[in-house]
Amino acid sequence: MDAAPDSLSPAPALRESAPMPTPFLSLDPRACGLSDPLSDDIERLDQLLGAALEAQGDSALIGLARRLRDHEPDDDLTPLWDRYPELQQPETAQALVRAFTLLFQLLNMAEQKEIVRVNRSRRPAHDAPRPESIPEAVERLASAGLSADGMQALLNRLDVRPTLTAHPTEARRRAILDKLRAVAEQLVEADLPAADARLDQPLDTPGRAQAELSRLLVELWQTDELRATPLTVANEVRNALYFFERTIVGVVPWLYHDLRVALERVYPGHEFVMPVFLGYRSWVGGDRDGNPNVTPEVTWRTLLQHKERILDIYLRSVTELQRELSLSARLGSVSDALAASLQADREAIALPPDTLLRYAQEPYALKLLYIQQRLQAARAHMTALADFRAEGPGFVIRPPAYARSSEFVADLALIQESLRAHGAAPLADEGRFADLACRARAFGFHLATLDVRQHSDEHAIALDEVMEAAGVLPPETRYSELPEAEKTRILTHELLNPRPLLPRECALSSDARRTLDVFEVIRHARRYLSPSAVMSYVISMTHGASDVLETLLLARESGLLRWRMTDAGPALESDLDIVPLFETIEDLADCQEIMKALFANRAYRAHLDARGRFQEVMLGYSDSNKDGGYLAANWSLQDTQLRLAQVCERAGVTLRFFHGRGGTVGRGGGRANRAILSQPGTFSGKIRFTEQGEIISFRYGLAPIAHRHLEQIVNAVLISAAEVTRTRQPKPAWTALMSEMAQTSRERYRDLVYRDPEFWDFYTQATPISYISRLPITSRPTFRPGRQRVGLEGLRAIPWVFAWVQSRYGVPGWYGVGAALEAAAFPAAASGDPSPDEERRPGEGLARLREMYREWPFFRTVMDNAQLELARASLDTAAEYAARVRPEALGQRLHAQIAEEYERTRRCVLAVTEQAELMEGAPVIRRTVELRNPALKPLSRLQVALLDGWERGGLQERADADEWRTALLLSLAGVAAAMQSTG
C-alpha cells in the first residue's frame, strides 16, 4: 500500500479504562508482533464488536464463530452444515458472514489509523525531512547539484495526473464507508491528549470515546452491506465526487504548500513560478468500453455535476473568506489594480445600496462579494445546460457569470497581489485564501477532466454506416472488412479533406448515432462548461493505426477537428488528445510500429502539430497480465516504455505514459511511488495512472493517508525525472535475461490457463467467478458484450483477478515466476533430472539475479510485489475450493500443479532476495497477514459451504433461496474486506 508506515513507534493508548466485554474472536495482535497502539485498537474493536452483538441479541454468533475458527477438516469431510446445525438457517449464515466482514472492516480502519499515527510520530534527527516526502526530494536534488534554475525547469516539466475509475472493485456501500471513516476518526480522537482537544468538542469524560465507537458499531451492524439495487453509473459518479469533496480538494493545496515551503528553505531568495503540476482526471461517467449504461446523456450529466460540485465548493470558501478578509481601508490600502477591478465590478453588477454601504470600508470583502455573485451566476447557468442537444438563448453565457475559470483565477490573483503589497502577505500565502487560490488553478471549473473511452470495434462499426451514407466506398463494400492499409489510406484522404462526410441530420442507426453523439457531448462541454472538461479520448484495444485515425475522423464530424486558412496555408485545429490503449502482450510488442506509422501519416502529423507535438499512450496492465501472466506482462510493459520513448524522441514528440494500473499486483497494483522509481531512464516527469475501486477508498478515505500517498508520488516523480538523480539504464545482460525469463514464465502460465482444455471447468468451480457478476457493485458487465458464452477470452480482467483473490490462490500475482527464476538460477533443476548437488547449487545465474535485485529498481519492485502476493495466498484454503471441482481428479490435478509452482516460486524468490521468509523487509505487512489468516479461514470455509449448498445442496430450490443467495454474496464482500482487495 502506498501510504504504508515507514517504522513503528509507541504512542498513547486509549485513555478510558471501562471494563471490556467479551470479544468477538479474541484476536491476539501482540502475539503477531504488532505495535502496542495498533494492538490496543484491534483488541478494543474486537471487544466492542462482541458487545454490539450481545446488545443486539446475537451473542450466539460469538461462540459459533470461534468454533468455526478452531475447526479443522478431518478425513471424512463431514459437511459444515452437519457439524454446525445453526448454519442451516440462512439468517444465521448471513449474520455470521456479516460479523466476520465487520471485523475485517474494523481491522482495516485500525491499520489506516496506525499508518497516520506512525507517519505523524516520526521525528527524524537533526530536523531532516521525512523519507519519501516532497521536502526530502527537494533537498536530495539540491545536494546532487540541481540549481534553482534547474529546479524551475524540472517543475515546468512535471505533469502528474491521478485518474479515478469506476472499475468494479469496491464492494462496500458509501453508507458503510462513511461509518468506517468515522470509526477511524474516533480512534484518532481517542488518542489525543486532553490538551489537544478542539474547542468545539465537549470536555473529555471517561468512556466518551468508547461510547462513540459503540454507537458506530451498532450503526454498522444494522446497515446492509449490500446495495438493494445494482450500482448505476449515476451512483458511481456520486461515489467519485464523494472522494473529491471529502479529501482530494482539501489535500491538493496541502501538497503545493509543501513544495513551496521546501523550495523557500532549500533555495532561499529565489522566486519560483509554481506550475499546476498536479491535477485530477476521471473515467467515471465517460468510460463506455463495454458498458452500454454510459450513454451520451449520462456523460453530459456527469460533466455538469463536476462543474456544479466545484462551483459549490468555491462558493462555500468565498463565503467563509468574506468574514476572514475584513481588512479595513482605514487601516491600509489596496493596489491600484484591485481598486480598478472594484470599479468595473460596480458597473457590471448591481448590489443593493445597503450592501455597498456595509462593505464601503472593506475592499477585500467587497471584492469577494462580487466574486460570489459571479460564481452564483455561473452556478445558476447550469440549469440551462440540462440537455446537451439544446441550442439557443439558454446556452449564452451572460454576465456577470464567469465564462472561464481563468477569470476567477485572475480575480483571486488581484487580491493576493494586493495583500502581499500592503503588509498582509501571510493572508495571501497561508491559510484559507491561499488554499482557494490553489484549488482554483488546480481544479478550474471542471474539478476533474473527464476522459472518454470506447472500444476500437465500436468506431469501425459506426464508420461502416458513415462511409455508406457518404458514398465513400463502392456499393456492398464494408469499411470494417477492408485491410489495414486500405483503411489507413481512406481515413487519411478524408481527414485531409476539410468538408464533413455527413449532413448534420443524417439518418443513422441508434448505435452509430450514439457513437457520434459522444463527440457532440465533448464539443458542448468544451464550449459551455470548460475547455478542460474533456481533453482526451482513449481507444481500447488499439491494434493498428487505423483505430486512431478512425477516432480522429469521427471527432472531425462534430467539429472537434477543423481546418483553418492561415498565412502559411491550411492548418488543422484539434481539441482532443487521442490516446491509444495497448493491452495485450502482442499489441505491446507491436505498438512502436503503430506509433511510427501514425507519426509518418500526413493527417496525424497535422493533428500532432495542433496539439503541440504531444502524445499520450496508455498501457494496460490488466489484460496483458491475463494474457501472458505476471512476469511476462511486467517485462513487456517495461520494455514497451523504453521502445515507445525512443520512437517519440526520434519523431520530436513529447510523450506521457498513462498507466492503467489496478488495485491488485496481478493488475499492476502495488506502491505507486516505487513503480515510478522503477521507470526506464527515459522518464520525463509526465505521468498518468488509474486509481481504482477499493484502492480509492483506502488512499482517499482519510486526508492524512491521501496526503502521504500523493507526497510519495510527487517525491518519486521529482527524483525520477531529474537528470542529476536519474536511474542508469540496466545492463544488457540483465535485460537479455529478463526477456528469457519473461518467455519462460509466459509459457508456464499459458500452459495452465490457455492450453489446458479443462482449465475453464476448474476455474469456474474452484473460484466463485459465477457469482461475482451478481454483486451489485458495478454498472459494467463481467463479460465483454457479445462474449458471455465464450469463456476465458470474453472475461474481463477485473473479475478474473477478483475470483482468484476470493479462493486465496492469487495466481495472477505470481504464477510462472518460479519457473522463470528456476531456469535462470538453477538451470540443472529446471532441465528435468538434476543430481541433488546440482539442483540447489548457487551459480552464476543466481548471483546475477541477486545483483539485479540489489541494483535494478524495476526487478526489485517486481520481486517484492510477487512475494507480497505469495504471502497473501493460502494454498491450504485454496485446496478447500479445489475440492469442489468435479470430476475430483481434475481439481486434484490442477491444484497440485498450482501448488507445485507456488512452492517453486516461493523457494526461488527467497533465494533471489536472500531472505529466510517472505516479506522479511516489510515485517508490519507480514504480521498483519499472520493476524488475519486464522480469522479468514472460517469465512472462506463458510463461503465454500454456501457455494456447495447453492450448487449441489438444493438451496436454489428452497423457498428461502433469496436469503441463501444473499448470504453467498455477502461472503464475497467479506473475503474482499479481509483481503483488502477484490480486483
Euclidean distance between CA atoms 491 and 495, whole angstroms: 6
546 grid coordinates = 487505423
* Exposed / middle / buried, residue 28 (Cβ in 10 Å: 0-12, 13-18, 19+): middle
**Cβ atoms 860, 853 nearer than 8 A:** yes
Euclidean distance between CA atoms 364 and 326, whole angstroms: 7
Helix or strand run (H / E) with residue 259: helix 249-266
Euclidean distance between CA atoms 800 and 225, whole angstroms: 23
What are the DSSP calls for 917-981, one per residue? Answer: STTTT-HHHHHHHHHHHHHHHHHHHHHHHHHHHHHHSSGGGSTTHHHHHHHHHHHHHHHHHHHT-
Nearest to 779 by CA among 235, 222, 207, 173: 235
Euclidean distance between CA atoms 697 and 706, whole angstroms: 10
**Terminal C-alpha separation, the chain:** 15
HSE, CB side, 13 Å, CA atoms: give it for residue 748: 29
Nearest to 404 by CA among 436, 446, 449, 372: 446
> Which position has the grid cell 477537428?
561
C-alpha 545: how far from chain center: 28
Euclidean distance between CA atoms 712 and 695, whole angstroms: 16
Euclidean distance between CA atoms 541 and 550, whole angstroms: 13
**Cβ atoms 537, 312 nearer than 8 A:** no
577 grid coordinates = 488528445
939 grid coordinates = 469465512
Euclidean distance between CA atoms 555 and 550, whole angstroms: 9
What are the DSSP calls for 645-658, one per residue? Answer: HHHHHHHT-EEEEE
Nearest to 3 by CA among 720, 932, 712: 712
Angle of the 693-700 helix axis to the 233-243 helix axis, nearest 10:
20
List the beta bridge partners of residue 402.
none
* Exposed / middle / buried, residue 127 (Cβ in 10 Å: 0-12, 13-18, 19+): exposed
Euclidean distance between CA atoms 458 and 470, whole angstroms: 18
Angle of the 249-266 helix axis to the 703-721 helix axis, nearest 10:
50
160 grid coordinates = 502528474
Angle of the 759-766 helix axis to the 888-913 helix axis, nearest 10:
80
> Which position has the grid cell 493460502?
874
Cα distances from 836 to residues 840, 846, 942, in angstroms, run: 7, 17, 43
Nearest to 852 by CA among 841, 863, 839: 863
Cα distances from 870 to residues 4, 395, 830, 893, in angstroms, run: 19, 57, 21, 21
| Strand runs labelled E in 511-590 | 536-540, 561-566, 569-574, 577-582
Q: Which DSSP letter does residue 245 get?
A: I
Active site residues: 167, 626
